[in-house]
Copies of this chain bind each other. A is one copy, B any other.
Amino acid sequence: MSGSPRHSRDDVSEMALRLLDEYGLPDLTMRHIAAALEVRASALYWHFPNKQALLASVSARILRPMEDVRVEDMTVSETVRRLGARLRECLLAYRDAAELVSSSLALGLVDSPVQPQLMAVTRRDGVPDSLSRVAAEAVMHFVVGYTFHEQQRLSADSFGLLPETTSSLNPEHANARPADGGDFEEALKMIADGLEVSARQHTETSAG
């Protein structure tokens, strides 16, 4: 059929995402990605300057569904909670996605997945951009960190590791026990409430 199966940038990152989900981040090597595309590792350097850039394009792909969240009719608090919950869903959709996105975000190689939509709503409601940016950072870092930790526990469990540690039979370490799914939403609510308090303080100060 196809005599010369040459690839696009998008082909590469699409395949990389598939391999990430199937084999995990430690096995997402340039050689494995290349092999899956029936190509040598050196060929990938025509499409990307280095591995970090390739991983950033995979991160952007993972975060793409964030764009579909419609926030027009939401309150500020609803928007914070909705964007946070959706971000967690995006990260849980692929194996090791939270770890990958965490480092791409820290390196500044992908845009904030929360800021644009949150800012649209806060501007509509007269909340200062500075507060909105801060809240977007708080939500983003909390969700990515929380889900990173959560995702590690999931794959540790599936590997059969931590058999007695996770069963929380040790009252000595009850304080250290991981939070469950409902705690995630509780934390988002805290940040949302905190943003509303700050916004209220701002309008009182500038109006009164």
Contacts and interface: CB of A to CB of B under 8 A. Distances in A.
Contacts of A187: 134-135, 137-138
A146 B4 CA distance: 46
Contact of A152 (B108, B129, B142): B108
Interface stretch (A28-36, A40-48, A55-63, A175-183): A175-183
A140 interface: yes
A197 interface: yes
Contacts of A111: 176
Interface residues of A, number: 50
Contacts of A102: 102, 145, 148
Interface string A141-169: 11111101100110010000010000000
Interface of A: 98-99, 102-103, 105-108, 111-112, 115-116, 119, 129-131, 133-135, 137-138, 140-146, 148-149, 152-153, 156, 162, 175-176, 178-179, 183, 186-187, 189-195, 197-198
